Structure 1
């Protein structure tokens, strides 16, 4: 079997069962929780140490609600910017202080987008079964099962319930001596370094290199403590709802510069009270766009214009009398006035809010149908986020993503083809949520413990090229929706099949094993189980009936939202 570091792209990619001893998991949310559990359950593993690095002071990932936030940093999140502009890595101080292992230096002023996008009123939009892991498949909320309203409340819960669920799921494994949790700790850089073999156990089976993580944690109000730690493998489970994206619109950058309080991103929204007696344009039709439109419209005296890329295909159109549907924004013009025009426009009986009166300027937002809105108090962009891994930028020469829209060369949305010891859990969008992460985690755990091997890198690259041709560099590339859920789950299950020969002793036939009819009618039964092997965590069961329920729940949820 070729070494993991071999440059032969025609050989299967695999790891010996004794090569991985230390694991770093970056992130403390949903994908990290299931990854940790899957690694710990894997039998015949040489993993002796797993460290979770979470930069918040609490577990839960994006579901952690922190009421403290900042205003939208319009000087950073400029119209059309990609992740390299919005979220560049910090300088690594150890590149200057090479012979120092620990450093205390002043805090950096650069925005790190630590705040989560959780807000008052955030509710799950996926049914309980798919938003939980297969072994704990309910929120733990008691109630009357015969009460339809209570049952609905339990099915779609507040974000704080999800945060507590994730926190408990991780905490149940913290008693394991192999696990260390580091809160308030940010991974700032990942470097590949030669292994110091005299400090390692395992002789010839050791990998030729490790990864040195540069870590930052608060020291006091003014200073941060930086240190470094090495691991055999790195699992990125940091999610992709951190770095906001605001699309390019002609004139928008000038508005951001002149009126930074007008342009906002949904990430920095916390509650609707600030919008009382205001006018707002909400750009976006997905979950956050629908939520914010509804919440803002509830405030007295508000007028809301919701802008859709395609009104004809919009899933939910508000029926509120103070909400007006608009197509996409075509341009935004800034109008400047001379003294005579200023008095006429902003005089005692003139029009224009305090924001614009103070500047003697107006803005006119023009939509694709040539309708306009003048001087909105706020333009709220609910236009999503960029994939951003600044701690990997130097290692991958700023080529870890395609301008933040997709992750570059990521086989099955999980395995980095050109560095098989760094993998990512939690990339798929719009999927069966936590269950997708569970499939990824089970597969990755078997791979890292030497029980399976992946196709050759050339075959992996072929998969990426084919999907890129179909989906292009768009959100659709990493989208695993209802129609794709079964196929994706089946694919990962096939990749994760373990033969009797390879279980616990390294790589063998792996993908060459014929599945035959072992999958039956569901995806939960694996070849390993049929052989009586102890494989640790199994792939969860998802049937076509489950997908049908999920699809029906989505339709019901849209009606449920609109009625509330």
Structure 2
């Protein structure tokens, strides 16, 4: 880095934002980390790397996706034309015309407008993790205390994860750096000053408080489970408006809401399978629609996770009725690609989420080499947006390394890979380490895109360890490596435990609470 970075913004107060804040606080101006071993407390450096760090969190407490609430997001956005796009269901707020000379202590105040932000957690009653608690932690801070004696060991309940994050924040006194109820609405880099200009709105008690603030560098840690993807299917809005029985899996809370009902789950991913263990015992019928034109084409790749999904869906004891993908919705029926039609009491769309950075969609960023988000399928240009390009190590924007991202890889090692991205950012931003030239960064991105296209999963645990070590090499001096003293992840053991608990829950032998 050629420019000095003194003031840093972190967008998001979930796991990724918290661990990034903690890493920055424990890095010195000289590029040395005080996190030198696996222990609960680490001293702060005499000369901290950054003079000011601000975390912006849109909700009123920490935790991100783990911040469970009984209240769920709305069902289906029937009044939105482009409901299948993130911009359609979460349009940007319009800031006041003039925010000159504003700051957090002198904002422009206006009456709050009611807009849906999709900022409620998708965690539901009874959810337990499918990753061992041994790696659902960070390499520094307090040990895992909550849930170690859980009935689902080595997994834990969702509230145990939130307890851990709260302990982590308390142990490191992190909340004093966080501005709650604060959303970043726009963000761009001012060419003259070289600083990032963030437009912020704080919403409390029916009042929007708008202001602008400048930073030398920004970390985006907003997560990937905010904006639900509603697939574009003929007749879906009309069907939902007429029947009021369509919702995204993010809005699912408790199986009791579906007791004695005929339910269709659209999608066959892990989240869909997780819900089945709660729904099968209480529903009159369970149907699953998969993204294939013919049921005969349903043949998942032979990976441990996908074999597990196929086993569940095809198990005759569960009585799950399988369908190809939906062709259309009529006023009261769902029509499938094989010509069959069915009536359902409830429809749950387990169709995933968009990756979305609305604050970057401003004219000043046009042509910039920041994160580029593409549809998951090249055949469906109006489909789910979740392929992120232009990020070296899934962390550094190739066009400008003062813009970084945390928590993009989907992996069992999410907590640790989020942390190691923060470690690398701390090393690069303090000039302890230097990134390769942009052309080599682009070559890295293309190499791993080729691997994915050829069916290699970069982020399954064995491969993820190599990836972790590669990112860690950019960290501050003295920063210890978690996997030097800890083992990896036994996929076979995870699969065995997942299967065992699934069958116990679905048979009523175990009751998650």
CA contact (8 A) 1:234 1:421 kept: yes
Structure 1 residue 181: deviation in Å? 1.4
The one-character-per-residue Cα deviations of 1:152-192 (angstroms, maximum 9, x if unpaired) are: 5342111111112112212322279xx62111111111132
**What is the match of residue 16 of structure 2?**
31
Matches within 5 A, 1:452-491: 452-471=433-452, 480-491=459-470
Q: 1:47 to 1:37 in 2, by over 3 A?
A: same
Matches within 5 A, 1:77-476: 81-93=84-96, 95-98=97-100, 102-136=107-141, 138-141=143-146, 150=149, 153-174=152-173, 180-193=177-190, 208-221=193-206, 223-259=207-243, 261-299=244-282, 302-309=284-291, 311-313=298-300, 314=306, 315-316=308-309, 317=312, 319=315, 323-334=319-330, 361-366=331-336, 368=337, 370=338, 372-394=340-362, 395-397=364-366, 400-403=372-375, 404-471=385-452
Separation in 2 of the partners of 1:77 and 1:406?
24
Q: Which stretch of structure 1 is more off in the superposition, 182-191 or 325-334?
A: 325-334
Q: Which stretch of structure 1 is more off in the superposition, 325-334 or 380-389?
A: 325-334
Separation in 2 of the partners of 1:49 and 1:210?
14
Separation in 2 of the partners of 1:373 and 1:542?
56
Separation in 2 of the partners of 1:36 and 1:477?
32
Separation in 1 of the partners of 2:458 and 2:348?
24
CA contact (8 A) 1:23 1:49 kept: yes
Q: 1:542 to 1:123 in 2, by over 3 A?
A: farther
Q: 1:397 to 1:164 in 2, by over 3 A?
A: farther
**What is the match of residue 380 of structure 2?**
none
Structure 1 residue 127: deviation in Å? 0.6
Structure 1 residue 381: deviation in Å? 1.1
CA contact (8 A) 1:26 1:53 kept: yes
Larger-gyration structure (1/2): 1
Separation in 2 of the partners of 1:494 and 1:46?
19
Structure 1 residue 273: deviation in Å? 2.0
Q: Which stretch of structure 1 is more off in the superposition, 152-161 or 424-433?
A: 152-161
The one-character-per-residue Cα deviations of 1:369-427 (angstroms, maximum 9, x if unpaired) are: x2735211121111111111111111533974225222231111111111221100111
Q: 1:193 to 1:142 in 2, by over 3 A?
A: closer
CA contact (8 A) 2:13 2:56 kept: yes
Separation in 2 of the partners of 1:419 and 1:49?
21
Separation in 2 of the partners of 1:407 and 1:171?
33
Q: 1:57 to 1:154 in 2, by over 3 A?
A: farther
Separation in 2 of the partners of 1:137 and 1:559?
30
CA contact (8 A) 1:89 1:393 kept: no
The number of aligned residues is 457
CA contact (8 A) 2:289 2:326 kept: no
CA contact (8 A) 2:247 2:348 kept: yes
The one-character-per-residue Cα deviations of 1:412-448 (angstroms, maximum 9, x if unpaired) are: 1111111221100111112412111121111111111
Separation in 1 of the partners of 2:170 and 2:327?
49
Separation in 1 of the partners of 2:86 and 2:444?
25
Q: 1:536 to 1:72 in 2, by over 3 A?
A: farther
| 2:119 aligned counterpart, secondary structure | coil
| 1:439 aligned counterpart, secondary structure | helix
CA contact (8 A) 1:79 1:247 kept: no
Is 1:558 aligned to residue 499 of structure 2? yes
| TM-score, with structure 1 as normaliser | 0.74
Q: 1:278 to 1:151 in 2, by over 3 A?
A: closer
CA contact (8 A) 1:392 1:400 kept: no
CA contact (8 A) 2:141 2:172 kept: no
Structure 1 residue 291: deviation in Å? 2.1
| 1:120 aligned counterpart, secondary structure | coil
Structure 1 residue 108: deviation in Å? 2.6
| 2:121 aligned counterpart, secondary structure | coil
CA contact (8 A) 2:142 2:171 kept: no
Separation in 1 of the partners of 2:50 and 2:215?
11
Separation in 2 of the partners of 1:296 and 1:425?
34
Q: 1:109 to 1:73 in 2, by over 3 A?
A: farther
**What is the match of residue 502 of structure 1?**
none
Q: 1:466 to 1:563 in 2, by over 3 A?
A: same
Task: Mark the runs of 5 or more structure 1 residues left unpaired by the alignment.
Answer: 1-13, 144-149, 196-207, 335-360, 499-534
Task: Mark the runs of 5 or more structure 2 residues left unpaired by the alignment.
Answer: 31-47, 292-296, 301-305, 376-384, 506-513
Separation in 1 of the partners of 2:213 and 2:389?
26
Structure 1 residue 280: deviation in Å? 0.7
Separation in 2 of the partners of 1:491 and 1:119?
35
